[in-house]
Each structure stands twice: as C-alpha cells, then as structure tokens.
Structure 1
Amino acid sequence: MGIAGYIGVYILLAPLLILGLAGYWKLFQKAGRHGWESLIPIYSTYVMLRLSGRPLWWLLLLFIPGIGIVVELGIYIDFIKCFGKTKMSQQAGGVLLPFVFLPKWGFDKNTRYLGQSAGYEFREQYQHLLHKSSVREWTEAVFFAVIAASLIRSLFIEAYTIPSASMEGSLLVGDYLVVSKFSYGARLPITPVSFPFAHNQMPYFGTKSYWDGIKLPYLRLPGLSDVKRGDIVVFNYPIEADSPWYRPVDKQENYIKRCQGIAGDTLSLVAAQVYVNGKPAITPPHGEMEYMVNADSTAFSRKLQYDLHLSDIRAFTRVDYMINMTKQSAAALKQVQGVKYIRPNTQFRGIYDPEVFPHTPNHRWNVDNLGPIIIPKRGWTVKLDTLTLPIYRRAIEVYEGNKLEAYGNNISINGKKTNSYTFKMDYYWMMGDNRHNSLDSRFWGFVPEDHIVGKAVFVWMSWDAASPFKDKIRWSRVMSMIR
C-alpha cells in the first residue's frame, strides 16, 4: 500500500476513532475521572482497573504477547459492566462496534457509573443485573474467547507448522512457528464470512469453511516494516487462484519461503547462486542442496548416516551417491577418507525445463539457471512483447484482474490495444532454502503483495515425529529466533 492508500485508510477510520474516544471521555467523566485520562495508553487501562476493582498487577499481563490482548479485552468488558452493561448483546456491541455504543452510552443521561463491577458490594446491590444461568455464562465465555482469538489471529500473531522439507535445514519439519501479522501490517479479511479457526476447509468434512458471496477489497493496515530480502515469509499459495481450487486470496493455502527479491529488483540464478541487481545474494547458512559424491568404499554410506548424521542419501552404484546436505556438511564430507570428489548437482545453463517459470522455450531456464528477470513494482511500466508477455501475463491477468488477449504481435488489455502495462501492486520472489526440494517462485513466478500473510518470528516448539519418544522434542530449537 502506498502513501495515498495509507492516507485513505486514516481518513476512513478517523471519524470512527473520534467517536469511540468521545464515548470513552464521557464515560470516564461519569465515573468521576478526568476525560483526558481516557486518551493516555496504559494509564487509561490503569484507571479502568481502578474503576472496575480488578487488581493492578493485571497491567503486567498486557505485555505478554497474545495474553495481553485477551486481558485488555477482559478489562474493557469489566469497565462497561460498571455502567450496568451486563447483557451479552451490550457487551458484544461494545466490543464489535465501540464507535457506536461508547458514544451512545457516554451521552445517554440514563447511563451512570454504578461502582466497581468486580467488587462484592456491586454484586450484592446489582445482583438482578448479574444473575446468569450456567448456559449463558458458558455461551458468553465461548463468544468472547472466539472474538479474542480471532482478533489475535487476524491482526497480531498466528501459529504455523512446517509441513515439508522445503526450508531445511533453516526450518525443520515439525517446527511450530509464531508468525507476526503486524510486522508487515495485518491484511484485513477479504472473505469475511467464514467458520472460526478453519482456513479453507472444514475439519473431517473437507467442505468449504467460507462463503465467497461477499468479497472485500484488499486492504492492509500499516506495519512495522516492508518485506525485506532474506525475510522468511508466510504467504498464500498463488496457484490456488486457478482450477481446481478457485480460492479467494486469503483462503489459499499458506506457504513459507525466504524472500530472495523484492519489487523492482533484477534477479537471476547462475549455477544455483542467486544474484540480485548483479550482486551475489547471501546463501542461507543452513540451506541444503543436492551434491554428487564419489567414494571408493562401501562402508562409506554407514559412516555418512551414523557419523555425519546425513539421512537423505541415494546410492546409484557402490561408489556414487546423491546427498542432500548443507555447505558445512559437504565441507566436512571432503575430509572423510575414501571420498574422491564432491560437486553440487546443478543443471547446465541453457537446458530447458518446461516445469520452470515461465514455461516457454523462449526462456530456456531451469531450477539452477534462470533470468535475469525484473520483479514488478507498483507504478513500473513494462513493454509487452513475445519475450516479456509470458513472464508478466499471469500477474496482469490473474493477480491484477485484467482481461488480456494476444494475437501474434497484437496485444489488448480490457479491450484496448497496447504494447505496455503499468503494475498496480508490488511483487516478490520467494525460494525455499532446500534448493532442490522446494516448490517456489522458480516454478510459478511472482508473489503479489496482497498474498503476504506475515513474517516468521520464532520457533516456539519443535517436534521430531521420526525420533524415539524421549527425543521427539528438539530442545535446542524451542523458543529460538528465526534468522
């Protein structure tokens, strides 16, 4: 989103924010406090704790990721209870539409501060307001838990599990990650009508978990930073816009790769080395790729597995092996007695692989040799011809929603003949650290900005399903930062 987009968001939200703050101001005044106290972050929460009778040490809980959001929500509900708003419909309105209900209550002459909602005297005096059946209590608890968890998942953080080996050894199968939505700015829901906590399919049934009868335009809140080269990014798998899925952007499967190129970069691969703007990119230190190994001993494979802990080994003859490993493992392997040579198993330049983007013989590219290719940037105009059209056609048609027709050298977009196109979004080039075992941008091209979900921040748990029970938890990876 550009500066104009951010200004538009602020213009849209400013009146709602002002209404909510005006309601807060008036409610604080009704409780005998200064209205300006409602405008000061943290301090206003302190005042609400005093007004509701909750312990002040709850303030410390606000600084715990995830838990802080739930606690803040609880303090807010206790605060509006102080004014007799104890019905579930009132609390739901106060949570979901604060810009409506807070000013309504604040300027209502019949709404007054009744006392500390968590206090004994309040409960005794206003027992008729607080009496609830066990069914109602459970219903309210579930309702607000769903709201809180949904807000956390949508706007702040979300858990993600590594399902495949495409990022090894930077990230391992069984790593449980925390993905930050606010790092790049939370993307607001595009398909708002969906079943809570189900991404695109209902568990066990396999049916759609959403209704795509309502689709909202792409809108992203301001974030802490833009996507940078080297970031490990979770995004929606762009290919699922097509048959047989035809899924909306936010309901496409989540993928995780490393960003190798950002909008405006010129990227190429030469013998598996990534170059960005003519300079070699930093190779992920724990990234893996295939190596050809020749050794003169049949005992060699046992040494690989048990001494060097290499398991992804394929033997072609008694002396020739294909091994997926890191650069460090390859260097260590060179020191093993009996090893004659080790070389990366890279394809030669000019060998055409039809599975590699953009899937045309005019670009004789493969997974190890590709480009140069310019990554589209918002506002950049590309000249369209027989060489560039295969590269950018999908972005123009599928991601930016244009109707493109090409007849020989004649190209029309939305019915108008043209030989150029100006992009409306930024795009990124994503690749797995396990270079010969990753389905990434080399196969399907660019990732549009509206597909970006968030930034992988840290591993909170790592579970090795293949190990014995006592070794299943990889303790060295628990609560480790992602680099």
Structure 2
Amino acid sequence: MALKEVYTPPSSRSKKKNKSAFREWVDSIVFAVVAATLIRWLFMEAFTIPTPSMENSLLVGDFLFVSKLHYGTRTPKTPLQVPLTHQTIWGTDIPSYLDWIQLPQYRLPGFSEVKSGDVVVFNYPPELQHPTDLKTNYIKRCIGTPGDKLEVRDAQVFLNGSPMVNPPRMESEYFVSTTTAVNEDKVFRENGVSEFTSYTETYNDTIPANDESGYIVYTTADIAGKLKEYDFVRDIRPVVAPKDISEPSLYPSSSLIKWNRDNYGPITVPKEGVTVAMTPENVAFYGPVIKYYEGNENVVLAEDKVTIDGKVIDGYTFKQDYYFMMGDNRHNSADSRYWGFVPMDHIVGKAVFVWMSIDPNPTSAANKIRWNRLFRTID
C-alpha cells in the first residue's frame, strides 16, 4: 500500500530554536580546542627555547614550529589528559593527566627519516616517572643514527671514522686572555657572545696556572675571530679537556669507561634487529637501554651481566632504533653524552622554522624582538 504524505499547516510546524549567545560561545570554544588539539597532534606544534644548549643555532627566546609529519605522527599513548597541556595544568603543579590507561603506541607514515644533522624535538628518555609521550620535550641535533659508530676526539665529532661537518653556528668554549678589564656590554653582548664569565683561577687543567687574566666565553669560531682583533686581547684559545681527564657524570656510568665531553667513545648507536654480545663493555653501553626502553620486564643490571626473568643473557637483539643527540653549544648542553640514546618512540618531530624571537636580555626596548630571526628556517 502506498504511503500518503500528510500536509501540516505552517502554523502547526515546530519552530527551530535559536542558540543563545552563551551556547554559541561554548560551541566556538569547543570547536577551537578540538581543532587546535588535532593540529597540534597530527601536523605541527609550537615550542619555545628556554636554555642555551643549542646556541648559536637556536637562541633563548626563539619560538619555533616543529613538524610532526616529517618523521610520522605518533598515536596517543596517554588518552586521559587535559587538551593542550603537557604534564601539568597551565600555571599550576597539578598533573594534567592520569596514567590509568596506556595505549599501544604506533607511528603514522612520515615522508623522511631522522638524519644526522637534523634538529629534532624528542621526549627526554631518563624521565621515567612520566609516560613516554608526556616526558619533557628536549631539542638537540641528531649526531648519530641507528648503527652509526660515533666518537668525539678533541671536541671534533667523528661519524663512522670520518669527521662530521660542524653546524655553521655551533658554539664552543674559549678562554679570552686580556690585558685589562673589558666593557662586557660593548665587547661581548654587541658581538653576539651568548655567555661569558670572568676567569680568575685555573680552569679544567687546560689553562696554565699563572697570573693570566681574562674571560671564559661561549661563542662561535667567527665571533672568536672578531674578538681576537681587539688590541687588549692577548690570545684566544679553545677550552678542550685532555684525553686523560675522566668525567664521571657521563653516560655510561661504569668504572670501565674513562671518557670526557671532548673525548668520548667510540660507541655504536643501537639499531633495530641488530644483536650485540653481552660483554662487560656492552653491558655498560646497552644495559640501561634493555632495562628501560625496550619493554622488557624483570631486568636486573650488574657490572658485567644482564638478567631478564632470572636468566643471564649472552646476547641481545634490539627491538627499535635509537639516536645520539648533542647540543650545538657543545660545552653547555646536557645531551646523549650525559644520559644516553634516544629511542625512536621518543621522537616528537623535526624543527623547521623560527616564527618569533624575543631577547630575554635586550640592550634596549627597541631590540626586544629579534626581527632578523623571524621566519628563519632551521639548519
């Protein structure tokens, strides 16, 4: 039987209610939060530089965009989180997440791999009190990729036996020997020296213990050359730790290793699918990786052995790729030399460009914004 449409007079039809101004305001806020959350997760996220570890490539006060698409976006691991937060709710110490649910993490396809020389944002691996995706974000330059053999000799990085090309604005530590006190604002700040301090005592056994006066500065080779032209500067020389000095704070923490920040390695970066023998040296190099970042349970580390589920292993095959990161400010950077490798599942994205830069210590109000750094690509 055919259905017959029943005509309803206009006067008896229900009228659509208009949204109140408050309802429209709430809907707009919800839409903006959802859109911003999706963009932040899937495409690009904004970060700011709080420390000088990447100077002079990136400066304190730089605001930059980090691409999630280059290496592939990670799926969320911690879903119970206040949107647009990280670890704590804005302006408080109240945690912004609950770790009651932890999802398996995957990575969507990207259009490039992490390469040596890339400036990368990642989650700080040793921060074990937080889930992987909510660890503090760090930014460093990738030095070694999976399978690379890395070594630092007299402050020069060697990759697979060949010297690595240094970043164009890499900073090093120099001793500036002077004949008189220096107008620090005029000489150092106007020349772009990021950090400096007056030198009065023997420093790291690299500067002779005599009556020599001067300054310790962190700057680029080009700026160091400019400083040398001043008539009150007697000499400028790099501060490099001798090979026979050992830094106990370096990774790995082992009595077998006698390295320092300027003479480090050789060490091979772990690669997915590669098996290593559990020699005492490899236990020191890779024991923390096996225990903390590979998803293994019941791992016990000793000086010369690794035990998993009560069984001593004589070899281990890595389950994911790892990377070795260093800051461009080589003597003022807490990086892989101090805390080890960065797992692939900790990689956030690639830093692509600076969109704003604010000088935290400007010489004048007119110089508060570093106009020459706006929309600068990161190399």
Q: TM-score, structure 2 length as denominator?
A: 0.88
Equivalent residues in 2 for 1:278-357 (5 A)?
278-299=161-182, 304-305=187-188, 308-310=191-193, 312-317=195-200, 319-357=213-251
Where does structure 2 lack aligned partners over 5 or more consecutive residues? 1-12, 201-211
SS at match of 1:200: coil
Quick check: which one's strand share is greater? 2
- The equivalent position to 1:194 in structure 2, one of 81, 90, 93, is 81
Q: Which range moved further: 407-416 or 320-329?
A: 407-416
What is aligned with 2:323? 428
SS at match of 1:269: strand
SS at match of 2:50: coil
The aligned amino acid for 1:469 is A
Where does structure 1 lack aligned partners over 5 or more consecutive residues? 1-125
% of aligned pairs identical?
47
What is aligned with 1:269? 152
Distance apart, 1:394 and its partner CA? 1.2
Q: Structure 1 pair 164/128, CA: closer, same or farther in 2 (3 Å)?
A: farther
Q: Structure 1 pair 155/128, CA: closer, same or farther in 2 (3 Å)?
A: farther
CA distance in 1, matches of 2:33, 2:190: 49
CA distance in 2, matches of 1:307, 1:408: 51
The aligned amino acid for 1:184 is Y
The aligned amino acid for 2:215 is Y
The aligned amino acid for 1:190 is K
What is aligned with 2:205? none
- The equivalent position to 2:50 in structure 1, one of 158, 163, 184, is 163
Quick check: which one's helix share is greater? 1
CA distance in 2, matches of 1:151, 1:216: 18
CA contact (8 A) 1:260 1:431 kept: yes
User: Is 1:417 paired with 2:300?
Assistant: no
Post-superposition Cα deviations, 1:350-395, rounded to whole Å, max 9, x if no partner, equal 3211111102221101111110000000001111121111111111
SS at match of 1:239: coil
Q: Structure 1 pair 311/220, CA: closer, same or farther in 2 (3 Å)?
A: closer
CA distance in 2, matches of 1:442, 1:127: 71
SS at match of 1:263: coil
Distance apart, 1:128 and its partner CA? 4.1
CA distance in 1, matches of 2:95, 2:313: 39
The aligned amino acid for 1:234 is V
Post-superposition Cα deviations, 1:438-464, rounded to whole Å, max 9, x if no partner, equal 111110000000000111110000011
CA distance in 1, matches of 2:184, 2:52: 22
CA distance in 2, matches of 1:277, 1:238: 25
CA distance in 1, matches of 2:192, 2:118: 28
SS at match of 1:454: strand
User: Is 1:361 paired with 2:255?
Assistant: yes
- The equivalent position to 2:336 in structure 1, one of 441, 449, 452, is 441
The aligned amino acid for 1:394 is P
Distance apart, 1:281 and its partner CA? 0.9
What is aligned with 1:479? 375
CA distance in 2, matches of 1:470, 1:375: 46
Post-superposition Cα deviations, 1:286-319, rounded to whole Å, max 9, x if no partner, equal 1111111223333576763366343622222473
Q: Structure 1 pair 156/475, CA: closer, same or farther in 2 (3 Å)?
A: same
Equivalent residues in 2 for 1:112-151 (5 A)?
128-129=15-16, 131-151=18-38
Equivalent residues in 2 for 1:133-282 (5 A)?
133-241=20-128, 246-282=129-165
The aligned amino acid for 1:478 is L
CA distance in 2, matches of 1:409, 1:347: 29
- The equivalent position to 1:397 in structure 2, one of 291, 295, 318, is 291
The aligned amino acid for 1:340 is R
Post-superposition Cα deviations, 1:213-265, rounded to whole Å, max 9, x if no partner, equal 00011200000101111111010011111xxxx10000111110010111110
Q: Structure 1 pair 327/377, CA: closer, same or farther in 2 (3 Å)?
A: same
CA contact (8 A) 1:175 1:463 kept: yes
Q: Structure 1 pair 134/420, CA: closer, same or farther in 2 (3 Å)?
A: same
What is aligned with 2:348? 453
CA distance in 2, matches of 1:208, 1:347: 41
CA distance in 1, matches of 2:270, 2:65: 29
Q: Which range moved further: 251-260 or 313-322?
A: 313-322
CA contact (8 A) 1:267 1:375 kept: yes
CA distance in 1, matches of 2:65, 2:264: 33
SS at match of 2:281: coil
Larger Rg over CA atoms: 1
CA contact (8 A) 2:178 2:214 kept: yes
CA contact (8 A) 1:352 1:361 kept: no
Post-superposition Cα deviations, 1:93-152, rounded to whole Å, max 9, x if no partner, equal xxxxxxxxxxxxxxxxxxxxxxxxxxxxxxxxx994573233332222222211111100
The aligned amino acid for 2:361 is A
CA distance in 1, matches of 2:21, 2:244: 71
The aligned amino acid for 1:474 is R
Distance apart, 1:476 and its partner CA? 0.4
The aligned amino acid for 1:352 is S
Post-superposition Cα deviations, 1:166-219, rounded to whole Å, max 9, x if no partner, equal 111100111000110111100111101100111111123311101100001120
Q: Structure 1 pair 198/407, CA: closer, same or farther in 2 (3 Å)?
A: closer
CA distance in 1, matches of 2:72, 2:367: 38
Q: Structure 1 pair 129/281, CA: closer, same or farther in 2 (3 Å)?
A: farther
CA distance in 1, matches of 2:183, 2:366: 29
CA contact (8 A) 2:352 2:377 kept: yes
CA distance in 1, matches of 2:64, 2:305: 48
The aligned amino acid for 1:343 is R
CA contact (8 A) 2:283 2:305 kept: no
CA distance in 2, matches of 1:179, 1:127: 50
CA distance in 1, matches of 2:301, 2:182: 60
CA distance in 2, matches of 1:302, 1:370: 35
Distance apart, 1:344 and its partner CA? 1.1
Give the count of matched residue pairs.
Answer: 354
